[in-house]
Chain A
Amino acid sequence: MIKRLAGPVLLLLSVSALADAPADFTARYAAQAGVAASTLSPARGEAFYRLERAHPAGAKRSCAGCHSVDPRQAGRTRVGKRIEPLAPVVNGARFTDAAKVEKWFRRNCMDVLQRECSAQEKGDFVAWLSQLK
């Protein structure tokens, strides 16, 4: 019986070991920013998400502009393609893949802010999204 279980259980463990959870990201960004994870601010994260910033192309840009004012809703890219909701409460795939998360922070921060986001900004942002109910 133990033998029959061992293979699948080991596989399951290795599968779950590869996936991250939102808490892993807040912990990582807090460490990078040199602050305690408990000091990350969901309120700052929300303000960051909604803030409209001037953009050299003309119209102002914000995270909410594409991802929708409510991150529990689907958004739309500038071309009109659906963006799956950002909030982990409705989209369990969010903040589970570090490469993907880093890629989209890099691209979207450059788009919206014309610079990379700081670890503090990313930490506050994930802290806000992951506590949405």
Chain B
Amino acid sequence: MNYFIRGVAVVATVGAMSLLAFSLPSGGEARGDGGGHDLMPRQTNTNWQQECGSCHLAYPPSLLPKASWRRVMADLDAHFGENASLEPATQADIQRFLEIHAADSGNSRMGDRVMRRAAPAAAPLRITETRWFVREHHEVSRATWSRKSIGSAANCAACHRQAERGVFEEDTVKIPR
């Protein structure tokens, strides 16, 4: 009987806690660069993770400049051929997060690397259009990109097995057959 009560209490507490966690406003704080070998800033935002991350990897904001993110977010009804429209409050929250951590926001080494290679005032819509991306992936052939196991260059996680955790280092790459 005692165990039953304890069980009920545990379930209720966990339920209440997870509800709280989901209802809390999502923070836009960066936790800074991962340090050492991990160049991708480990920042996160609940809306970004949930909304962007349900169709593709929630792409790290430091891979595109602010102007690019503004272009992307201005056209979510036709987002690379898909409807990715959002509630206005959610959209504003994500846009703020993206801009705070954009490549040209000056607060990540990853962003600095992307901007060093960028043409002045360029606002590419795709990460794959940045000079940084093209250079880093020059050895990957077109045939590899189009493998069924990969699909497209937008599918970072196909090869970067720890991409969900913000890890993109070369030694974590495994290209699927």
Interface residues of A (CB under 8 A from B): 4-5, 7-9, 11-12, 15, 18, 57, 76-81, 103, 106-108, 110-111
Asked if A107 and B152 make an inter-chain contact with CB atoms under 8 angstroms apart, the answer reads no
Alpha-carbon distance A108/B82, docked complex (angstroms)? 8
Which residues of B are in contact with A by a Cβ distance under 8 Å? 5, 8-9, 11-13, 15-16, 19, 54-57, 77, 81-85, 87, 150-152, 154-155, 157-158
CB-defined contacts of A81 to chain B, threshold 8 Å: 54-57, 155, 157
A8 with B81: CB separation less than 8 A: no
* Residues in chain B near residue A107, CB distance under 8 A: 82-85
A103 to B85, CA, bound (A): 8
Among B11, B82, B84, B155, the residue within 8 A (CB) of A80 is B155
Contact of B85 with A79 in the complex, beta carbons under 8 Å: no
A-B contact pairs, 18 of them (CB 8 A): A5-B8, A7-B9, A8-B8, A8-B12, A12-B11, A15-B19, A76-B151, A77-B55, A77-B56, A78-B151, A80-B150, A80-B158, A81-B54, A106-B83, A107-B83, A110-B83, A110-B85, A111-B82
How many contacting A-B pairs (Cβ < 8 A)? Answer: 66
Chain A residues whose CB sits within 8 angstroms of the CB of B57 once the complex forms: 81
Closest to A8 in B: B12
Docked Cα-Cα span, A106 to B152, in Å, equals 26
Q: Is the CB of B5 within 8 A of A79?
A: no
B85 & A15 in contact (Cβ 8 Å cutoff): no
Contact B83 A79 (CB under 8 A): no
In the complex, how many angstroms separate the beta carbon of A107 from the nearest chain B beta carbon? Answer: 5
